[in-house]
Amino acid sequence: MANSSTNSDDPPVSKEVPGKARNTSPLLADSGSSASSGGDSETFSLDDTMRDFPVHFDRTYHKYKAGSYPFPNDAQEVERMNEQFCLIRAAHEGKMFMADIKEPGNILDIGTGSGIWAISVADNIFPDAQITGIDLSPIQPHIVPPGVRFEQQDCSELDWCRPADSFDFIFSQCLMGSLKDYQQLLITARKYLVPGEGWMECCEVDNIPSCDDGTMPEDWPLKRWSEWMVYATEQGERPLRIAPFVKRWMIESGYVDVQEVVVKIPLGGWPALPRLKKLGKRFHTLVHDSLPAASYKTFNEVMKWDRAKIELFLASVREIYGRRPSADEERQMGRMAPPPPPSQRKAKT
């Protein structure tokens, strides 16, 4: 995978703010939590037991609310998240967000992951804002810009233990596959935004690849994998494909002046423009490198596929080349062949 910090078309992500010392992130309960309505949500101080993460398929996963989020939280995943952040920013021509936000006092980053968005916004755009990143996993850096803090919290709780009407900007990126009810998140977030002036922004990737000129084969392995993932995550009740619905959910949840900006990200090095060609190549690498992390728990827990079956399926998705097996080998492998895509499976039943 490309090193996200060394590419010239990446947005700046770690510039020091002159005259400001960097914080060590406390990961402490929010001091505003005394304003909580006493509901069911919690924020936590970080201690060693929280880093004692469960391991599945040689990857670590979040411990707090274990099992609710299907993707890993280890160093490899942090690197993947950072690369994903850089590619989304590059596709957005460096913009960290699209809403017209002016001098916010309080910002919340939901599902902050590696914390790269919160840190970048503090470093480069709003050095005086208080930016809180929340996540199930305490995997954010300890050395952060002044004003940035990270807390462990489940955003699907209805009470965020924070003062209502207090955030000027709530941002959330790539929560696809995370939540049973994404619209509920929008409804909850609304009550924590400053009335009349607070903005919510959601940035989600539509993971079903599409093609403008009709040249993508229906059975392209990556498309097939995406369809399986959409199917499996819907069965698991945490749908991956939410991007096409967020605008409607936002309007239905009572937001106004709702705008949707759709930016196409090339998948592969096919564009003629050098900037897009480079972006497409990096995005292709990112998607392929993401396949195991995205697949193991979902296909194992929801589809009950074992590791061998998942690996075989991923091999075809990754378009890896190899030798054709002998007749004997093919007979043996037949037992492990991946099932047909959802469309064919449905047609048979």
Residues in contact with ligand SAM by CB under 6 A are 62, 69, 81, 84-85, 111-113, 116-117, 134-137, 154-156, 173-175, 178
DSSP labels for 182-217?
HHHHHHHHHHHBPTTT-EEEEE----S---TTS-S-
Q: How far is the CB of 83 from ligand SAM (least distance, A)?
A: 9
CB-based contact 86:13 (threshold 8 Å): yes
Q: How far is the CB of 335 from ligand SAM (least distance, A)?
A: 34
Cβ nearer to ligand SAM, comparing 175 with 338: 175
Cβ nearer to ligand SAM, comparing 106 with 112: 112
Q: How far is the CB of 259 from ligand SAM (least distance, A)?
A: 20
Contacts of 41 (CB under 8 A, 6+ apart): 153, 154, 157, 158, 159, 160, 161
CB-based contact 45:168 (threshold 8 Å): no
CB-closest chain residue to ligand SAM: 113
**For residue 31, what are the CA distances in angstroms to 36, 138, 149, 162, 348?**
10, 18, 12, 9, 57
DSSP state letter for 167: B
Which tokens belong to 60?
Answer: 């670590």
Q: How far is the CB of 326 from ligand SAM (least distance, A)?
A: 41
Q: How far is the CB of 322 from ligand SAM (least distance, A)?
A: 31
Q: Say how many C-beta atoms besides its own lie within 10 A of residue 41's C-beta.
A: 19
- Measured in degrees and rounded to the nearest 5, phi and psi for residue 310 equal -65, -45
Cβ nearer to ligand SAM, comparing 33 with 178: 178
Cβ nearer to ligand SAM, comparing 82 with 338: 82
